[in-house]
Amino acid sequence: MTFTLPELPYAYDALQPYMSKETLEYHHDKHHQAYVTNGNNLLKGTEFEGKSLEEIVKGSFGKNAALFNNAGQHFNHIHFWKWMKPNGGGTKLPGALEKKINEDLGGLEKFKADFAAAGAGQFGSGWAWLSVKDGKLEISKTANGENPLVHGATPILGVDVWEHSYYIDYRNRRPDYLKAFVDNLINWEYVEELYSKV
């Protein structure tokens, strides 16, 4: 497959004041585009040509670091844009997902605190995740472009804690960015859609 940059599912200014137009222009148009361009160049002539993005991410992990980093980040960002929406967050979750978060993670408020703590505690660049592994929800964090796919889990929500995701709007206040993300940006319907497919 060839990597292509997806359109944002909302206008560049739609997530303000929590994520600015300038952040999305840089993050989507420059950073995500670079992962697409570099990923396509690195894919040429490898055993992974013609494979699905998930297969490329899993197959290149530990074997082809440059391809993995760009493919992983492409996968992560395809979903990251959909994990946010205008007027997101809130306290009303789709029923099956709310039940599972209550069962496995001690409720929405505890999830939000633990998920934000995972993101704040990731040293340097990386991601915080909500994933399904062996039928249970779990919170984790990964460095750089790594994601739960390579650890036997299925990610259903992720937040980018690379500085380019928040520095224009929050400078070094990563915890404030994470609070804004969980309280005001999460697209719970998309999280539920992914959860229902696991």
The domain made up of 21-83 is a member of CATH 1.20.120.160: no
134 carries a ligand binding annotation = no
CA within 13 Å, CB half, 23: 21
32 carries a ligand binding annotation = no
Q: pLDDT of 59-78, one tens digit each? A: 999 999 999 999 999 999 99
The architecture (CATH level 2) of 95-196 comes to 3-Layer(bab) Sandwich (3.55)
Q: State how far the Cα of 133 lies from the Cα of 198, in Å rounded to an integer.
A: 9
Domain parsing of the chain, residue ranges: 21-83, 95-196
Q: pLDDT of 109-145, one tens digit each? A: 999 999 999 999 999 999 999 999 999 999 999 999 9
74 carries a ligand binding annotation = no
160 carries a ligand binding annotation = yes
Same topology, domains 21-83 and 95-196? Answer is: no
The reply to whether the predicted model has a pTM over 0.85 is: yes
